[in-house]
Amino acid sequence: FRHRSAKFLITAVNQGHYRHLTHPEVAFAGRSNVGKSSLINSVLCSQKLVKTSKKPGHTSALNFFALSSRAGPGEISIVDMPGYGFRSRNEWGDFIVEYLSKRKVLRRVFMLVEAKVGELKSTDENFLDLLEEYKVPAQLVITKADKLKSADTDQISSAVIKQATRIAPSVLLPQAIYCSSRTRMGIDVLQAEVLSVCGL
Ligand code: GTP
Ligand code: MG
């Protein structure tokens, strides 16, 4: 990623806004405040490209970023999704459903779960239902791992994977990624996944 450059593209709330973007794409989803925007900054090796906040509900639309190779062709899009479960139990706009159901270039959704929480909440389960319904490939990212003692990590991730696999058996990858934006633990693994799923 050091040999690539990242930039902000657009903020979108409907297909018309992003239809012209046709590169392979990945998206980051999860409950409000789980650290999606911070994680994208870490993956892109940028400090402030994506706005983050202590207050939940900060990202309220789909934000598209481009990652290009400085050396040659090969560009991908990375989408920061608004968090769910902040205003009401099951709250996401129709544009989220439209995005998940119709976005052909979307290769994988990385679904973040906070390590310390250690389980899926009902909003996570509802989101997994959507992924399963629209057959969107997904991978769990257990994040803010710096808040935990490392001995607890395996137990937590296997419990969360088990719970999620029950809901989205046909789309969820069997492997979760454990990481922290604060310590950069696991960021290299996540970067490698992003590039390989986008064919780079
Ligand atoms: P919304 O856009 O509101 O849905 O939130 P988000 O998921 O984009 O979260 P964001 O990246 O804005 O981070 C929320 C808060 O969590 C901020 O105060 C971050 O500093 C903090 N945070 C993010 N990643 C980590 C991490 O890896 N470890 C710790 N300890 N804190 C983190
Ligand atoms: Mg955000």
Q: Quick one: pLDDT band at residue 148, thresholds 50, 70, 90? A: confident
Our answer on whether the CB atom of 144 is closer than 6 Å to any ligand 1 atom is yes
DSSP secondary structure letters along 115-179: TTT-S--HHHHHHHHHHHHTT--EEEEEE-GGGS-GGGHHHHHHHHHHHHHHH-TTTB-S--EE-
Ligand 1 within 6 A of CB of 143: yes
Q: What is the pLDDT of residue 91?
A: 62
Dist. CA 36 → ligand 1 center (Å)? 6
Per-residue pLDDT band for 185 (boundaries 50, 70, 90) equals: very high
- Check whether 80 has a pLDDT greater than 60: yes
What pLDDT is recorded for position 156?
81
- Residue 126: per-residue pLDDT: 93
CATH of the domain at 14: 3.40.50.300
Ligand 1 nearest atom to the CA of residue 53, by list position: 12
pLDDT tens digits, 82-115: 998 766 555 667 889 999 999 999 999 999 999 9
Residue of 143, 181, 184 with the most ligand 1 atoms within 8 Å of its CB, for mutation: 181
Which residue's alpha carbon is at the smallest distance from atom 16 of ligand 1? 35
Q: Residue 63: CB within 6 Å of ligand 1?
A: no
Q: Give, using CA atoms, the residue closest to atom 18 of ligand 1.
A: 54
- Using the predicted structure, report yes or no on whether residue 63 has a pLDDT greater than 90: yes
**pLDDT tens digits for range 30-44:** 999 999 999 999 999
Strand partners, 67: 6, 76
**How far, rounded to the nearest angstrom, does the alpha carbon of residue 9 sit from its chain's CA centroid?**
17
Q: Which domain holds residue 97?
A: 4-197
Instruction: State whether the beta carbon of 51 lies less than 6 angstroms from ligand 1.
Output: no
Q: Is 46 in the pocket of ligand 1 (CB under 6 A)?
A: no
Ligand 1, closest atom to CA 59?
A: 2
For ligand 1, atom 30, the nearest C-alpha belongs to: 144
Spatial distance between the Cα atoms of 38 and 52, rounded to a whole number of angstroms: 6
pLDDT band at 153 (very low <50, low <70, confident <90, very high): confident
Residue 74 Cα to ligand 1 midpoint, Å, equals 29
pLDDT above 90: residue 69: no
Q: What is the SS3 assignment for 194?
A: helix
Arithmetic mean of pLDDT, 45-63: 88
Q: What does the alpha-carbon distance between residue 20 and residue 27 come to, in Å, rounded to a whole number? A: 17
Q: What total of structural domains would you count in the chain?
A: 1
